[in-house]
Amino acid sequence: MSKTHKDTSPNRFRLVITDDSTHEYLFKVKFTRTSGLVAIICAVVMFTAIIFSIIAFTPVRTFIPGYPDARSKRAAIQNAIRIDSLENVIYRWELYSENLRRVVEGEEPLKIDSIINAATDPETSLISPEEIAKKDSLLRQNVMKEEQFDISERDKRDLPIEGMLFFPPLKGVVSQGYDPAIHPYIDITAAKGSVVKATLDGTVIHAGWSEDAGHTIQLQHEGNIISIYKHNEKLLKKVGDKVTAGSPIALVGNTGEMTTGDHLHFELWHNGEAVDPTRYINF
């Protein structure tokens, strides 16, 4: 008869903690190789989850080098607003100093209208003053003829979106830009309670609450343009109200489930299609 060879390697283990003086069992547990491996994996997973939760949901994350906290974000927004204001101040001082130099040297001061026109249309700087005067006189004659015979159709003309003057709904930092496929709108970060303003003259067509977007307000403008403002802390207008460009309509907040911080979700629609607001508005 052949002898069967049994597996003599240990498969069951016992972990025991005893009192060295009395030899009394304080703790003991029995386990196998499989149960011990499962216990170790569970302990590692639980430890990792605890560490992740502490870092993600407690102020401990602010101690991580390079992680922006609420104070640094607020400082960045305030710095961006200050930079914008300083740029305007510097521009005014440059204009003032240039005009002062021209007056001292006996030259004609700069005109604000000519500077604005030159900035919006660089090609005008290549046209001679004689041509500009000639075109101006022809334009005046056409306007006088239209007014004389009442053939002006200015009330019937639809100004293209490229020719409209949009008012910035909020001065802040564009935290996420426009993407026609994934993100057909922009997010503007600003301090909570900042005033949200109407970008054009229009009428409030929606003002309400939704779980995803929070407090939302929509405006209908001329030229088949619609502007949408989401995640507001509070709405200042109701459906049917007439608003003018630059008038307050809401306050910046963090309402709704689809948001992670105080910001304005801004959408601009033209002829039923979403367009990039940064093409027409300087934030």
| pLDDT (tens digit per residue) in 170-217 | 988 899 999 988 889 999 999 999 999 999 999 999 999 999 999 999
H helices within 205-280, ranges in order?
A: none
The verdict on residue 142 lying in a domain is no
Phi, psi for residue 61 in degrees, rounded to 5: -65, -25
| Cα 177 off chain centre by | 7
Strands 273-275 and 195-197, bridge-based pairing: unpaired
Which tokens sit at 32?
């196998």
CA distances from 61 to 56, 73, 171, 262 (A): 6, 15, 29, 19
Please give the residue range of the domain that contains residue 37: 12-59
Quote the mean pLDDT of the chain.
80
State the pLDDT at residue 120: 47
Residue 256 is part of a domain; what is its CATH number? 2.70.70.10
The verdict on residue 227 lying in a domain is yes
Residue ending a domain, choose from 27, 43, 59:
59
Give the count of domains, the chain.
2
Q: In 177-272, where do the E strands start and end?
A: 186-189, 195-197, 202-210, 214-221, 225-235, 242-243, 248-252, 263-270
The verdict on residue 45 lying in a domain is yes
The verdict on residue 6 lying in a domain is no
CA distances from 195 to 39, 184, 207, 234 (A): 55, 23, 16, 10
The verdict on residue 100 lying in a domain is no
Which tokens sit at 155?
């009330």
State the pLDDT at residue 154: 46
What is the tens place of the pLDDT at every residue in 4-33? 555 566 678 788 888 778 778 777 888 788
The residue among 219, 218, 197, 221 whose CA lies nearest residue 208 is 218
Non-local CB neighbours of 1 within 8 Å, separated by 6+ positions: none
The verdict on residue 199 lying in a domain is yes
Cβ contact 228:153 at 8 Å: no
What is the tens place of the pLDDT at every residue in 233-257? 999 999 999 999 999 999 999 999 9
Phi, psi for residue 20 in degrees, rounded to 5: -65, -25
242-270: b (≥16 Cβ within 10 Å) or e: ebebeeebbbbbebbeebeebbbbbbbbb
What is the tens place of the pLDDT at every residue in 122-151? 454 455 666 666 666 666 666 566 555 444
State the pLDDT at residue 105: 77
Residue ending a domain, choose from 20, 39, 59:
59
* Torsion angle of C-alpha atoms 119, 121, 126, 128, degrees rounded to 10: -100
What is the tens place of the pLDDT at every residue in 66-92? 666 667 777 777 787 778 778 777 877
The verdict on residue 141 lying in a domain is no
Cβ contact 197:170 at 8 Å: yes
The verdict on residue 117 lying in a domain is no
